[in-house]
Structure 1
Amino acid sequence: MDRRHFIKLGAFGSLISGSALPALSTPQAAPDASQTGNAFDIVVVGGTPAGIMAAIAAARLGSTVALTEYHGHLGGMSTSGLGKSDIEKKETVSALFREFTERVYRYYVDKYGKDSPNVTLCRKGYYYEPSVAERVFNQMIQEARTITVLVGHQLEKAVLKANTVTAAVFTNRATAKPVTLRARMFVDATYEGDLYARAGAAFRIGREAKSEFNEEHAGEIFFDYNENTFLAGSTGKGDKKLPAYTYRLCLTDDPANSYVMKQPPAGYNRNHYLKYFSDLAEGRLAGPKVFREGHGYYKAHFNTMLRVFSFAEIPNRKYDVNINPRPLGFPFPEENAGYVEASWKDREKLFQHHRALAIGLLYFIQNDEDVSAEHREMARKYHLPLDEFTDNEHFPWQLYVREARRLKGLYTLTENDLTIQKGTQRTPVFTDSVITGEYPVDSFPTSKTPSADKKVLEGYIGILPIPTYQIPLRVLIPEKIQGLIVPVAASTSHVAYSTLRMEPLWMGIGQAAGTAAHLAIKHRTEVRNIPVSILQKNLIQQKQLITYFDDIDTNDKAFEAAQFWGTKGFFTSYKACLHEPLSAADFKNWLNIVATLVKNKSVDTSAAGQETVSLAAFQKIIAPLKTDNKAVSIPAWMYQDRDSSQPVLRGEACLALYLYTQDMLMKVR
């Protein structure tokens, strides 16, 4: 491995933690910027999963990349306790995220054997220990070779020239020295949107009123998560409140690997947790109305004080432990007030405050005398693991910042883009789609105020199902600031953000951002001016899904072409029907779309007929579209050779139109 691309910052830890895992490299002490060089093609600010994938995508395409992170470790929530992948339809987010899960799976198979319990618990790589996730991320970064990692670097300001970001200034937290990084493109992959805020980009904080975008679930809301119905007191008014932040704990029930708290943790106050007794007595610590596998529903804890947490089993006798937002005693709402605009010093205070609340809750149910002896005994089975977060008292590094700033971009994704509108059969189609999303709307409470019927805290929208939707490139691009792309704190409403904010999807969006940044440099243009067809073709070739269908085999010959044309309006539902005959009506509609895209080509559709389109008629009609690309032959787009009087199939038409128009669609103007 090439060590020079990994920079360790003394007290802030190496890139690999955990005594159970050998380090992939031994990073050198952090040199001054003048020693390492400070000019890159791309600087990615924020070592979140999205930032990591942006860096890897750009590096694999040939860019030099600097990846910076405030903490001493990379990986954001995925290496800080979020040990299960929040994804319902695994086929919707693939590419680098899929590679990540495959590498996790291979790790467990290689270490423990294919038929071992740990391999079963990793669920094909979608569930993992924090240290394993960190190991895999670092391995992928090292293999990219052109990525320089600077952990423990605190962003101070952005430097602009003519409204374009040209540099970012950091403080090396170990040496207190300033570090300036220059680049041709910047990626803001922070959870908070810190870089674009310092660059002067417009953004939102808080919740829009229901009236702003005509969103059903916007604004102040009391929502029955069991019945998916509104409760009394829902006004739809906008405000500056944010979903509660917490820490995501990793716990173990292995006594040999347990860090046992012998005394109350710093900042402990039992009064924070007393409302949980009412939750237990009144049934709010029971199981869910509908049990959904993979949502942290651990049956053994229902109707006990352990239900203040949500447990999901991961390998090696460990658990991904969320803090259950459904009880009224949930103490975290409103505790993040002021976090987003706080100084680094004040953010550190809020980190410590949330840490005290989280670890204090565990101590409370393990030790408080008012908790029943049975429940205390049950709680004492679980402890922080000795082999995780070894340089941080076995506690995660990253605060779970569920939402902070949201960019005001070239487009704002709203709840209406996540729903099927009246008279349609799929969510809105975006010609500049770069990935599909699918996770239910899931917003943690924003307020400590309970509904009048004591069912729920204000602001909680729990696992509200939505269809699969497209995410346009424009939500990643600031309105005015250039040289910058934003895959995490992107341009959405509060409601839409609560589905976008999942790490698997963010990894895919990060991949799109890194690819777009590389292409902007390659074509010497702004990212907003990249021909979207070029970006989409690159993403499709990287196995990114940009259009979702529920009836396509990914091995289908026309799969990539259908992905592309699915962003242009070829398909009005989630059925592609690629092996069915193409109707004349659909063919004419498709040709009109193509003609609009290629602009300088006119196509006579009179020979299309009235019902289905024959192969002979199809070839004659599309002939004017064919370029001088000699690689495009008739068998290249046909599923099988057959008589020309037979109807052309929808998949064949997609592929032919895709191949015939490549030269025109991929031009940089």
Structure 2
Amino acid sequence: MRLICFVITLIVTALHAQDVVVIGGTPGGIATAVTAARLGHRVTLVEYHQRIGGMSASGLGASDIENRAMIQGFFREFVDRVKAHYVAAYGAESEAVKLCKDGYWYEPRVAEKVFESFVVEQPLITVLKHHQLVSAEVKDGRVVAVTILNRATKVEQKLNAKVFVDGTYEGDLIAAAGAEFRLGREARDDFGEPHAWHIYNIPGGERIGGTGAGDKRMQAFTFRIPLSSNPENQVPLTAPPAGYDRTRYLGYFDDLKGGRFGKNLTTIAFTVRKLPNEKVELNMKPLPLGFVFAEENVGYIEAGWTERERITAKIRDLSLGLLWFLQHDSEVPENAHETALKHQPCRDEFPEYDHFPFQLYVREGRRLVGEFTLSERNITEQPGLPSERMHEDAIAVGEFPIDSFPMQKRQPGDTVVLEGYLGMLKKITRPYQIPYRIMIPKKIDGLIVPVPASTTHVAFSSIRLEPTWMALGQAAGVAAHLAIEQNVELRKVPVKEMQAVLMKQGAVLRAE
């Protein structure tokens, strides 16, 4: 009994004496935790779900990156480990290795395995899965503690630390700490952004309408769904989800009749990406006017977790309903039936979640108001807008095209594109330096924010990719290390030293 009490005391003491607490086991949060631990700091990583890895371990089967050379460091380690897994498991010349595309494409279970390998290697990291943030304690303008809840036991626990990190998609810690944040879209005039707020934009092309006014709308949340074509690894759908309503999907027929995106209703509704081991990844295609997911996330970000779970379940059932519709509806053409029925949920993915992804694709939540706000002028080159893409305090490089899902369902008169959709604006987006200041709150100390960072909606549509977040997380881990080592606030961390450490770790800081 004495031994048990001693062990419990040690565990509690360890959790109360952390250097760094990271809220959010997303790829960005994991990169922060691992980087700080490698530099000698005790870290607690807190994750709401029963698994870590965020979207990369929950159906997002590829690393969204257009210019691979621009993001290295921790992210490149992740990619290399993915490839090494497939080589070791199936052989260097295997089909699985070819399909993993040098480690940039992967099955969710493999991504999770890789993230777990990073964490297990670091004895200074304590991982608390199935825990949620309850509150943050702020004294004299500085975060000094957080309270978390064990979702299984309902027991609350207070964690003290020197540095706190918001690695959540929702921006929950910045809100709990009382840091200023933005939610929704800026007006076009707020930052002089040509693609801000209410907008109609030809996919990949020019603006064709919109008021330019600001609002609180959020781009659509969806799931990325891995499916298997191997009957031995399938858990076929046997019934539609609760509350199934086929009429919700009839708008896709308009897209089919108009010949807008092909002649197969399944590939009109989904983007299908081939993954290793006879799997595909379904992405809900935002181009069709029949796209059903816009506005289904209303209220999610500022809701408590009970309401969030209700909204998540609604979007989950809407997703499964679309798949069932394409598999079984009598009006759906046979070619779509055949394509949809060939692929079913994977037996070897997410068994405790009924073989469905655990993480809702929260493409955007709260965004910090930081020491600097990244805007469209900082990530693009286009006529009439000064380009300001370089910064002396650069700690990472962003490179992904501006890409935002629709904000509204089909409105009267919509014949080309849904409102709010900014589809892969490659023509104007250029590699850009990301300044350290976007992770630092204006007034709150002791807090660094690598995921819900300080940007406008338009700029967030470029940085909101897991490779970029891993780069920012790595920088946040280095910043936490220097702040603790030199006993300075995060906003006072010597940037040149931080940049030197990052470059030694293989990070890229120059945008080319």
* Pairwise TM-score range, normalised by the shorter structure: over 0.9
Residue of structure 2 aligned with 1:229, choices 206, 211, 220: 206
TM-fit CA distance, 1:426: 6.9
The aligned residue for residue 196 of structure 1 is: 174
- Given that 1:421 and 1:427 are in contact with CA atoms closer than 8 Å, whether structure 2 keeps it comes out as no
The answer on whether the counterparts of 1:191 and 1:488 sit within 8 Å (CA) in structure 2 is yes
Q: Distance in 2 between matches of 1:424 and 1:356?
A: 43
Whether 1:139 and 2:117 are equivalent positions in the alignment is: yes
Cα deviation, 1:477-520, whole Å, max 9, x if unaligned, reads: 00101000000111000000000000011011010011101110
Alpha-carbon distance in 2 for matches of 1:32, 1:451: 63
SS in 2 for 1:413: coil
1:535 partnered with 2:460: no
3-state DSSP of counterpart to 2:441? coil
How far apart are 1:377 and its partner, in Å? 2.1
Partner residue, 1:42: 20
Output the CA distance in 2 between the equivalents of 1:368 and 1:201.
49
5+ unaligned residues in a row in structure 2: which ranges? 1-6
Q: Residue 346 of structure 1 aligns with which residue?
A: 307
d(CA) in 1 for partners of 2:370 and 2:489?
Answer: 15
Look up the equivalent residue of 2:470 and give its one-letter code: M
Inter-partner Cα distance in structure 1 for 2:335 and 2:116: 42
Partner of 1:243: 219
Q: Measure how far apart 1:33 and its partner are.
A: 6.3
Deviation at 1:427, TM superposition (A): 4.4
1:260-305 Cα distance to aligned partner (Å, 9 max, x none): 011112232212211111111112332xxxxxxxxxxxxxxx5433
| 1:334 correspondence with 2:312 | no
Q: 1:143 to 1:210 in 2, by over 3 A?
A: same
Matched, 1:61 2:39: yes
- Assess if the C-alpha contact under 8 Å between 1:285 and 1:305 holds in 2: no
What CA distance in whole angstroms lies between the structure 2 residues aligned with 1:524 and 1:378?
A: 59
- CA gap of 1:461–1:346, structure 2 versus 1, over 3 A, is same
Distance 2:469 2:84 in 1: 23
Give the greater-gyration-radius structure (CA).
1
> TM-score, length-normalised on structure 1?
0.73
| Aligned counterpart in structure 2 of residue 160 of structure 1, from 138, 152, 165 | 138
Aligned-pair Cα RMSD in Å: 1.8
Alignment of 1:424-463 (within 5 A): 427-450=388-411, 452=413, 454-463=415-424
2:439 alignment partner in structure 1: 476
Provide the residue aligned with 1:51 in structure 2. 29
For the pair 1:75 / 2:36, whether they are aligned, the reply is: no
Separation in structure 2 between the aligned mates of residue 395 and residue 357 of structure 1, nearest angstrom: 13
Q: Which moved more, 1:276-285 or 1:327-336?
A: 276-285
Within the candidate set 331, 347, 360, 1:386 is matched to: 347
AA at the equivalent of 2:347? L
Match of residue 64 from structure 2: 86
TM-score, normalised via structure 2 length: 0.96
C-alpha displacement of 1:359: 1.1
| Whole-angstrom CA distance in 2 between matches of 1:236 and 1:123 | 40
8 Å Cα contact 1:152/1:174 also seen in 2: yes
- Which deviations, in whole Å up to 9, do the C-alpha atoms of 1:17-55 show, x marking residues without a partner? xxxxxxxxxxxx999963753220000000000000000
Q: Check the 8 A contact 2:228/2:234 in 1, yes or no.
A: yes
Deviations 1:104-124 (A, max 9, x none): 001000110000000000000
**Aligned with residue 269 of structure 1, among 212, 234, 245:** 245
The answer on 1:122 being equivalent to 2:100 is: yes
Q: Which residue of 1 aligns with 2:4?
A: none
AA in 2 matched with 1:118: A
**1:321-372 CA deviation, whole Å, 9 max, x = no partner?**
1100010111111111111110111011011111101111111100111112
Q: Relative CO higher for 1 or 2, CA cutoff 8 Å, sep ≥ 6? A: 2
Aligned length, in residue pairs: 504
Map residues 606-621 of structure 1 onto 2, 5 A cutoff: none
* Deviation sequence 1:189-228 (CA, Å, 0-9, x none): 00011011011000000000101000010010011115x1
Matched AA of 1:222:
Y
Show structure 1 runs of 5+ residues with no match: 1-28, 287-301, 550-669
2-side partners of 1:30 and 1:120: how far apart? 48
Alpha-carbon deviation of 1:90? 0.3
Contact 1:311 1:319 (8 Å CA) reproduced:
yes
